Structure 1
């Protein structure tokens, strides 16, 4: 019950307030969703990836183990959603949006504070979550953009779009600086920290603006399936993978918990930026965040047995 109350007060309520502010701002001033989307893609997202990666402390063996887990988990999750969308014979746009709503999950502004709460600020479990966060920032900005552009652009043009994203360069630069223990000048690190801290607020306001401008023709069946696959199938596959790999203890607990969080704002930002089912994507993020209040405590209870 304490986890339920904590998640409600410290995750759901603050997130809902930010989303509501965005919706009200749209109704009052008709904010430009495209401008907000570009700020997230080109400014705030690469900043948070760089700062979190540069400031984290990660052991090579842990990194390799987490990456192996993520590769297997992501492949299984992708296979499950692929089976569903093929059975339903969805059109291309909805197929991509449905897939993104399941495989892209909120590993940053939801999973990081959740990880620190559940594990009492443990630096080791935080490092695990940061690795997952990095992968969950990299894939939407590469694979996610490729799938949305492949049918309407040449391979060369699509790659040009991907390579124009700052996050692609933020990751290797942060890794190299971290590996060689090179300090970032305070005149650069400070503004990056400010931008990193602005990511969550701007992303949630963007979601609120999108929701505020929607007609709310609810995609009930698709949203429900998306939520089930993200919030229930996700952690179940996480349990399966740690069992397959023989991972136990804190590592297993942190990895499974990372699989249980709601749909990422990245799916909404991609949908808005490339005009692909933004209403469905926004509804999937909003409802999965809301229902995670009930599913996350259950996952937390069961990871205690790992």
Structure 2
């Protein structure tokens, strides 16, 4: 119990305080959330991803294995979510929203700060986290849009739009510089370091501001089930797979902890654009985010104790 309290107060509570600050300031000053999102996507995240990969010791065979694991995890999560939705007799649109909320977890704005605190800014742990962030971004803005049958954006265009994002080039250049051991000119490294160091506080603030912009007037029981599925069934599935594939150490810890993240705000943003019932996605995001303060603390404890 003492370990759980320590994890909550030293990791989850500091994150909650920054998210809460962003939430309150957004409610008071009505900041432009679109501009905040662009600041994260086009400024700090690319620099953060590049520097995390540039400075870490990457085992590229392990990297390939992690990506295969994530694809299989996504496939099994999809099947389980669809089965649960079928049991609850959700209509087609809500089934897609329920499934997407379980497939798309907050590996970036929430998962990165948790990783930074749990593993004390370990570059190797963060390099694994970066892979999860990139996978989730690509998955959300490709399948996430396809699954809701985009009316104005073609499938090919939706997929190609990801490759126009600076995050992709931060990933690509980080891997290239790491693999070929390319030197970084000192002024560029210093500038990118400053940008990287701004990331944690900024993305948590933005997460709070994004949540403040989500509105819903009721909470349906199936949305509550969706939140619990994301927070409990998601990490339970990841845990079983990690044991089955005999994965251990930091890699297993990072994957398990990240699998416990709440539903990504992206799932709500995509629903607002392409769904007839975006409020349903917002309910799952809000409930899973609120409940995650307890469940994520528990999963961190389990991850560090077992792996």
Which TM-score band (shorter chain)?
0.7 to 0.9
CA drift of 1:228 comes to: 1.4
Q: Does 1:196 align with 2:196?
A: yes
Corresponding residue number in structure 2 for 1:98: 98
Cα deviation, 1:177-212, whole Å, max 9, x if unaligned, reads 111111233433334333333344343333433443
Computed over aligned residues only, the root mean square deviation of the Cα atoms, in angstroms, reads 3.4
Corresponding residue number in structure 1 for 2:158: 158
Supply the distance in 2 between the matched residues of 1:151 and 1:242 (Cα, whole angstroms).
38
Supply the distance in 1 between the matched residues of 2:274 and 2:186 (Cα, whole angstroms).
38
CA drift of 1:223 comes to: 3.5
Supply the distance in 2 between the matched residues of 1:187 and 1:271 (Cα, whole angstroms).
42
Supply the distance in 2 between the matched residues of 1:236 and 1:184 (Cα, whole angstroms).
41
3-state SS, counterpart of residue 263 of structure 1: coil
Corresponding residue number in structure 2 for 1:81: 81
Q: Does 1:169 align with 2:169?
A: yes
Q: Is the 8 A contact 1:101 1:226 kept in 2?
A: yes
Q: Is the 8 A contact 2:45 2:196 kept in 1?
A: yes
CA drift of 1:5 comes to: 2.2
Query: Could you say if the C-alpha distance between residues 189 and 139 of structure 1 is closer, same or farther in structure 2, counting changes exceeding 3 Å?
Result: farther
Q: Is the 8 A contact 2:4 2:301 kept in 1?
A: no
Corresponding residue number in structure 2 for 1:29: 29
Corresponding residue number in structure 1 for 2:212: 212
Q: Is the 8 A contact 1:53 1:134 kept in 2?
A: no
Supply the distance in 1 between the matched residues of 2:79 and 2:72 (Cα, whole angstroms).
11
What is the TM-score normalised by the length of structure 1? 0.79
CA drift of 1:233 comes to: 0.7
Supply the distance in 1 between the matched residues of 2:298 and 2:274 (Cα, whole angstroms).
35
CA drift of 1:250 comes to: 5.3
3-state SS, counterpart of residue 139 of structure 1: helix
Supply the distance in 1 between the matched residues of 2:282 and 2:7 (Cα, whole angstroms).
21
Q: Does 1:140 align with 2:140?
A: yes
Query: Could you say if the C-alpha distance between residues 270 and 43 of structure 1 is closer, same or farther in structure 2, counting changes exceeding 3 Å?
Result: farther
CA drift of 1:275 comes to: 6.8
Supply the distance in 1 between the matched residues of 2:148 and 2:166 (Cα, whole angstroms).
18
Supply the distance in 2 between the matched residues of 1:193 and 1:264 (Cα, whole angstroms).
27
CA drift of 1:251 comes to: 4.5
Q: Is the 8 A contact 1:138 1:167 kept in 2?
A: no
Residue correspondences, number: 304
Cα deviation, 1:280-304, whole Å, max 9, x if unaligned, reads 5555444334323332344345443
Q: Which moved more, 1:13-22 or 1:178-187?
A: 13-22
Q: Is the 8 A contact 1:261 1:296 kept in 2?
A: yes
Q: Which structure 1 segments of 5+ residues have no match? A: none
Q: Which moved more, 1:171-180 or 1:51-60?
A: 51-60
Corresponding residue number in structure 2 for 1:242: 242
Supply the distance in 1 between the matched residues of 2:82 and 2:58 (Cα, whole angstroms).
33
Supply the distance in 2 between the matched residues of 1:27 and 1:294 (Cα, whole angstroms).
25
Corresponding residue number in structure 1 for 2:62: 62
Supply the distance in 1 between the matched residues of 2:217 and 2:160 (Cα, whole angstroms).
35
What is the TM-score normalised by the length of structure 2? 0.79
Q: Which structure 2 segments of 5+ residues have no match? A: none
Q: Which moved more, 1:256-265 or 1:73-82?
A: 256-265
Supply the distance in 1 between the matched residues of 2:243 and 2:134 (Cα, whole angstroms).
24
